[in-house]
Structure 1
Amino acid sequence: MKTAQNSGVDGVQGQAVDSRDENSPRLQRWLKKITAAPNRFLLLALLIYMVINNTINATSVWMEITRDGQPEFALWELFVWEYSSLLANFLLLPLIFWVWQRYPLRFSYPYRQLLMHAGVSLLYAIGHVSLMVAMREGVYSLAGGNYDFGPVLREFFYEYRKDVWGYVFFLLVFNIYHRVLSRIAGEANIIANSEAEEVTAPSALPEHLLVKKLDKEFLVKINEVDWLEASGNYVNLYVGERIYPLRSTLSQLTTKLNSQFTRIHRSHAVNHKAIEHIQYSSSGDGEVTLKSGVTLPVSRRYKDQLKHKLSV
């Protein structure tokens, strides 16, 4: 049953807060898959879009040039041109996504952002054109012909105009996709302790997360978070079958939650109360098995820290 309550916690007093998430199990499974690798699903969606778009472009040009007689080039050449551009984009997008995650859009320092994206878009265009031309020359060579790109500066400027527009399109799609995903999957924020609690216990562990999902807000206890996973500019918080992204780095978050969570890997931290057992190998690495059945790696770098924290 869904309940609305006054939480009595700073930042949400007087607000209606849902006590639990009511997404269907099927939707939760899909959200778990997508939030575990969000860019992989975006790449797949963009690949489908580009295949459809470039196929339409190739067939449309073919219909236009055959309308008044014999064309100057074969149908397969149009598909080579379109699909070489598609494949070049597909190879470059993961690198572009990495840059956008590391340097997300900000309203502050607009000129610095503009200069950064101008530089990245130029590098993207150089990479796109280089890969595209190399693929075309390879296909033409196999077909016994020769691909002529034309005057380099003129043709690069022609391609660069289109690539800048494509760069802006992909940037908008990337940010809209992640914004919508965070609204659907839920984005968490740590609720600070009250001022009185901060005076008496300045390092006290926050008790709740405020999760915003679509038009709802609800509370999740920090104690219920099993483990943390670094994901770009976010940390994914695993609560049972649910995953909530929180804008932070893993180092910052584990420092804030130091009394209950310990980092065990460059990408993972674990809630002490969620641990079922720990097993180490002769190499010095190990793995933690949680009460939920999830197994996480323990690297040698963090092994001693984990042993110390659990023995205190």
Structure 2
Amino acid sequence: MTLTYFQRYQTWYATLFLCSYIFINNTINASSNIMEAQRDGVLPFMIWEPFVWEYSSAIGTLLLFPALVWLLKAKPFNWQKITRSLLIYLFASVIFSLLHVGIMVAIRKLIYTVQGMQYDFGLVWFELLYEYRKDLWGFLFLIAVIKAYQYVVNQLTGEAAPIKQGEDTPENLNFDRLLVKKLGKEFIVRVAQIDWLESSGNYVNLHIGARIYPLRATMSQLITQLEPQGFCRIHRSYAIRLDVVESITPLPSGDSEVKLTTGKVLNLSRRYKEQFKGNINSATANF
């Protein structure tokens, strides 16, 4: 599996893993409830009820999971302002629990109604407190899973970043060399080594021969910084270093194919063709 393919579909892989884990875990919980009741010799519920209880909880968790990802991105935990961060996450955990309870109770009431039965949530304040005790643990567990997943992915794929020169502002970032962190190591990549760039979600993949390094940026942001170093955008998703262009082949559609000295062939969109020709002419004249 290539890095580009994984980055493109990593959300689907992560979702599949999460769904599988939660539903397997809740299936085990439901079957355990049935086995414990059978061991006591009395089954105080219909055989399908524990599955409704557990799966409704699982669905609520999965529906709220994107909100946790957003929370970690929008409000990352700040150890410098720990009290404020603790209050934010405590409040978020309460909202998480209330929404989780609301979703699973709604699902249960719907299914029980279809079955001609009535679902009784119980004494509201007591049940909310009981559920919050479990949801708080689930809230913390899911945050730990998200952070662990992000850490493992970053370690395996590596991640490039501009080298800071003083203040963390665009004018103080060195785009001549990039610092790459991978598997606990740090090393320098020269921008002049990059053959082409590929947009991939919130990242731009830097292609250097057979190696690929993701850089957290948008293509528009990055190409603005790299154009003075001989890079040109040729497609919504691609940009190239002009001095690795080997040939250009026009296509009947009006687009063209650009072949690099590495053998890679990329699409030159009509939208960027004039800009590309201008940059090629300027690069040839300077040469």
Identify the residue that residue 181 of structure 2 maps to in structure 1. 212
2:142 is equivalent to residue 174 of structure 1: no
Q: Does 1:236 align with 2:208?
A: no
Q: Percent identity?
A: 37
Equivalent position SS for 1:207: strand
Q: Distance in 1 between matches of 2:65 and 2:269?
A: 29
| Cα distance in 2, alignment partners of residues 250 and 102 from structure 1 | 22
**Amino acid of the residue matched to residue 165 of structure 1?**
W
Counterpart Cα distance in 1 of 2:50 and 2:142: 23
Per-residue deviation, residues 163-199 of structure 1 (Å, max 9, x unmatched): 1111110111111111111111112133469xxxxxx
2:240 equivalent to 1:271: yes
Structure 1 stretch displaced more, 246-255 or 52-61? 246-255
Instruction: Tell me, in whole angstroms, the C-alpha distance in 2 between the residues paired with 1:70 and 1:49.
Output: 30
CA distance in structure 2 between the partners assigned to 1:107 and 1:287 by the alignment? 51
Residues matched between the structures, number: 268
1:113 corresponds to which of 85, 107, 119: 85
How much does 1:228 deviate? Answer: 4.7
Against the structure 1 CA distance between its residues 70 and 192, is the aligned structure 2 distance closer, same or farther, given a 3 Å change threshold? closer
Deviation readout 1:251-274 (Å, 9 max, x if unpaired)? 654443342456789x85633537
Q: Quick check: 1:72 aligned with 2:41? A: no
- Given that 2:204 and 2:219 are in contact with CA atoms closer than 8 Å, whether structure 1 keeps it comes out as no
TM-score normalized with structure 1 length: 0.69
Evaluate the alpha carbon distance shift between residue 228 and residue 66 of structure 1 in structure 2; reply closer, same or farther with a 3 A threshold. Answer: same
Greater shift in the superposed pair: 244-253 or 210-219: 244-253
Q: Distance in 2 between matches of 1:304 and 1:122?
A: 55
Q: 1:48 aligns with which of 8, 12, 20?
A: 20
Equivalent residue runs for 1:124-143 within 5 Å: 124-143=96-115
Matches within 5 A, 1:1-312: 29-191=1-163, 206-223=175-192, 224=194, 226-229=196-199, 231-232=201-202, 235-239=203-207, 242-248=211-217, 253-259=222-228, 260-261=230-231, 270-271=239-240, 273=242, 291=260, 292-294=264-266
Distance verdict in 2 for CA 1:61–1:203, change over 3 Å: closer
Distance 1:277 1:129 in 2: 60
In 1, the alpha carbon distance for the partners of 2:56 and 2:162 equals 46
Secondary structure, aligned partner of 1:69: coil
The answer to whether the 8 Å contact 1:236/1:243 transfers is no
Distance change >3 Å, CA 185–CA 150, structure 1 → 2 = same
- CA deviation digits over 1:20-51, x for unaligned, max 9? xxxxxxxxx25433333433322222222112
Amino acid at match of 1:220: V
1:306 deviates by: 7.7
Aligned CA RMSD, in angstroms, stands at 3.8
Report the 3-state secondary structure (helix = DSSP H, G, I; strand = E; otherwise coil) of the residue aligned with 1:220: strand
Q: Which runs of 5+ in 1 are unaligned?
A: 1-28, 194-201
Cα distance in 1, alignment partners of residues 268 and 14 from structure 2: 26
Higher helix share: 2
Q: Distance in 2 between matches of 1:278 and 1:227?
A: 21
The answer on whether the counterparts of 1:225 and 1:237 sit within 8 Å (CA) in structure 2 is no
Pair 278,217 (structure 1): closer, same or farther in 2 beyond 3 Å:
farther
Query: Per the alignment, in what secondary structure is the counterpart of residue 79 of structure 2?
Result: coil
Residues in 2 aligned to 1:294 and 1:191: alpha-carbon distance in whole angstroms: 29
